[in-house]
Structure 1
């Protein structure tokens, strides 16, 4: 084996049908100047085997769609992934995905192809998005050889940006749910957490329009400016 062969990234073993599906996935769209209300957003939440960004695996994906200013209950996604040799951490006590549920899960390749087809070219939203983005990026790269390039915005940043009067910038999802008195049933389950995040985001989108943030591109730019100010000395 040559050094070049040793350095080359190993490609996942996709069959012909899976490879065709991979090649047919739409390219991600950049956030544009279309009306904020008209944008299709995919709100995602992951359950994982633990919190280690480099070793742990995605166990479950839940996602809902915000479109036309509302959650579209006709567009929902939920899938548990089969993981043959996953060592579970104490987080199983939170999300409840035990060995039997994981053993009965979907083939990760098929599940991830289904998820990316569901996402299409839409931007992604998550609460504490950097974790979900990193874990999803790794899962897609390892299982499909696919590099996630979709815009991925963090609702945990958007909330304090648009609601500075709340003064809970380091808050968790439960804190924001309580702040806005949202009636949320089940929690700590991928699809339920995605729905709770989407309900919070609907409030934030309304706040954005009130603050004359009228497009996805404008929201992204305002978020970038806010994060730069936050990182500046003396903030």
Structure 2
């Protein structure tokens, strides 16, 4: 056995039913040219045991759907994940998920499979999306052997792109929700954070339409241009 094969983590052991369901998951659709209003979006938020992308794990998942230009309250997803080796850390002061809540949580493989069923072929929105994307990708790989390929849009990146006149340096979710007079029912709760992120996204989509960026593909192209300009300005 080669050294690289020894270092590579072994795939998770799934029963036949789970394995078949993973194989039947819907692949992500290409980013469309149609209106933002016509696109089904899944807005996601994760609560985690910490901020270390390699060591910490997902504790809870909240997601809501934007469809037909509005939040569809009939389509909501919420799960707390059971973590066998979860250790109590200071992060519990932020998300409030203590040992009893984690012990009573769902089987991670089942919860993640249900999440991907819920997402379907839709693109994802999150605030500070790269973190959620990396944490979710690792959880899916560890528990299901599944490679996440769905596109993520970062609401923290969209907001300054569409509001260049606003000088909120390194603004967080609280800063943008306060600016647009939105109210979060509860912070650092995955479902509540997903909901207020969806409300913010709807405001941004309305601004995007007025700026002639009225499709997921156009919005993605504009974000890529913004990243290239940033790289050039930093001399990369």
- Normalising by structure 2, what TM-score? 0.96
Structure 1, unpaired ranges of 5+ = none
**Structure-to-structure mapping, 1:173-184, within 5 angstroms:** 173-184=173-184
**Structure-to-structure mapping, 1:196-215, within 5 angstroms:** 196-215=196-215
Instruction: Give structure 1 regions of 4+ aligned residues with deviation exceeding 6 angstroms.
Output: none
The 10-residue stretch of structure 1 (30-39 or 7-16) with the greater mean CA deviation from structure 2: 7-16
2:36 aligned partner: 36
Cα root mean square deviation, aligned = 1.4
2:98 aligned partner: 98
CA distance in 1, matches of 2:89, 2:153: 27
Q: Note the alpha carbon deviations across 1:46-101, whole angstroms, 9 max, x for none.
A: 00011111000000000001111100000000000000111232111011000000
CA contact (8 A) 1:43 1:126 kept: yes
1:123 aligned partner: 123
CA distance in 2, matches of 1:36, 1:8: 40
Q: C-alpha displacement at 1:18, in angstroms?
A: 0.5
1:75 aligned partner: 75
Q: C-alpha displacement at 1:232, in angstroms?
A: 2.2
CA contact (8 A) 1:160 1:169 kept: no
Q: C-alpha displacement at 1:185, in angstroms?
A: 1.7
Q: C-alpha displacement at 1:8, in angstroms?
A: 5.4
CA contact (8 A) 2:48 2:59 kept: yes
Number of aligned residue pairs: give it: 234
CA contact (8 A) 1:46 1:59 kept: yes
Cα pair distance change 1:125/1:169, threshold 3 Å: farther
- Normalising by structure 1, what TM-score? 0.96
